[in-house]
Amino acid sequence: MPVITYRDALNQALREEMQRDDRVFLMGEEVAVYQGAYKVSKGLLQEFGEMRVVDTPITELGFAGVGVGAAMVGLRPVIEFMTWNFALLAIDQVVNSAAKMLYMSGGQYNMPMVFRGPNGAALQLSAQHSQAWESWLAHIPGLKVVAPGTPYDAKGLLKSAIRDDNPVIVLEGEMLYNTKGEVPDNEEIVIPIGKAELKREGEHASIITHGKMALTAMQVADQLAKQGINIDVVDLRTIRPMDVEAITTSVRKTNRAVVLEEGWEICGVGAQVVDYIQRECFDDLDAPVVRVHQADVPMPYAKNLERAAKPDAAKAIAAVKKVMYLE
């Protein structure tokens, strides 16, 4: 099976969906001539032309709004934000227009569009450019939010996102674009939105996570396995709607849970996961659920401080041992 990068997996998804449906088009900063700030759109301008691969000025609110209008008249825009930090400028179109249009129009306007781009911290990009926005976005009824952690999931979820008639947020990662994974080329991959995946299976504890942290969780599983501790890694893949059953099935089995995410603690995605666990699995818990997340500060620029602020494998391992009463 071919091993490709996360970047190429997204590129394949875009190409296949643009070939499949000529209403699909890509729009954003540097997506066409420059082939994408992260080369996700490589070759698309050449294949589909400038009517379907559209460079925009540096006007996030503007081109997000053009995307909403295009979706209203039946096109299926894919709006690329160079990073989700820049998407803050467009948040009114995302939250007030895209997410609300079906509701406000009494069901007259579907919003078959995708907002995508890298989310979360990379390395030393400092406070304004190192933020994970999924809890903001997942808070909004009317949006769907996916956060693939592997090339396979990236391809399958972006394709589903493009085919969905509702606005779907696709959270990628600068640090993910170069990661590699198996992606079959002889079958169509479409991963249903709202389905988590049990990426590792164990009995001692569960890590529930999503996005980039799914990779961290798998490292954690590998390291703990050497110590004889086997854990479930539940990769949510979709944050909204969340696969509660996958969470509860795992926690009922292991009786212990760690919730790992890239973003901040307060009102984070993990808080919602913990709520589902306490509601559905109260009698199954042998220990309080522990969360692992970014420190509650703007991301520091200094390398050592940035490392200290980010969630990582060592912190997650300590959390697993805590819920197992090993430390």
The Cα–Cα gap between 240 and 244 comes to: 10
Q: Say which residue the tokens 């913990």 belong to.
A: 274
Residue 233 β-bridge partners: 200, 207
Q: Between 70 and 277, whose beta carbon lies closer to another protein?
A: 277
Backbone conformation region of residue 27, classed left if phi is above 0, alpha if psi is from -120 to 50, else beta: beta
The residues carrying an active-site annotation are: 60, 129
Minimum CB distance to another protein smaller for 159 or for 321: 321
Angle at alpha carbon of residue 202, lines to 254 and 249, rounded to 5° = 45
Query: Which residues sit opposite 181 in a β-bridge?
Result: 4
Q: Cβ of residue 259: shortest distance to another protein, in angstroms?
A: 18
Part in contact with another protein (CB under 8 A); list of ranges 132-140, 176-184, 228-236, 282-290: 282-290
What DSSP letter does each residue of 49-97 carry, written as one string?
A: -TTTEEE--S-HHHHHHHHHHHHHTT-EEEEEPS-TTGGGGGHIIIIII
Is the bond leading into 241 cis (omega within 30 degrees of zero)?
A: yes
Look at phi and psi of residue 78 and say left if phi exceeds 0, alpha if psi is from -120 to 50, else beta: beta
Between CA 209 and CA 147 the distance in angstroms is: 10
State which residue, 197 or 232, has the beta carbon closest to another protein: 232
What torsion, rounded to 10 degrees, do the Cα atoms 152, 82, 90, 13 define?
-30
Q: How far is the CB of 122 from another protein (least distance, A)?
A: 38
Task: Choose, by CB under 8 A, the member of 185, 187, 283, 296 that binds another protein.
Answer: 283
For 279, the token pair is 């509601």
Cβ nearer to another protein, comparing 187 with 282:
282
Residues binding another protein: number (CB under 8 A): 8
Stretch of 81-89, 95-103, 169-177, 280-288 contacting another protein, by CB under 8 A? 280-288
Which among 34-42, 108-116, 277-285, 306-314 is the span making contact with another protein, rule CB under 8 A? 277-285
Identified binder of another protein from the candidate list 253, 284, 315, 318, rule CB under 8 A: 284
Residue type for position 134:
E
The distance of closest approach from Cβ of residue 273 to another protein in the complex, given in angstroms and rounded to an integer, is 18
In this chain, which of 286, 297, 302, 308 binds another protein, going by CB under 8 A?
286
Measure CA of the first residue to CA of the last residue in the chain; give whole Å: 41
Q: Is 255 in the site for another protein (CB under 8 A)?
A: yes
* Subset of 287-306 contacting another protein (CB under 8 A): 287
Q: In sequence order, what DSSP letters do the residues of 91-146 get, joined into one string?
A: HIIIIIIITTHHHHTTT------EEEEE-B--SS-TGGG-B--HHHHHTSTT-EEE
Q: Which stretch binds another protein (CB under 8 A): 90-98, 123-131, 142-150, 276-284?
A: 276-284
Shortest Cβ 255–another protein spacing (Å): 5
CB of 182 to another protein, least distance (A): 34
DSSP state of 202: -
Q: Is 228 in the site for another protein (CB under 8 A)?
A: no
Binding mask 37-76 for another protein (x = CB under 8 A): ----------------------------------------
Task: Compute the least distance from the CB of residue 232 to another protein, in Å.
Answer: 16
Sites of contact with another protein (CB under 8 A)? 255, 282-287, 325
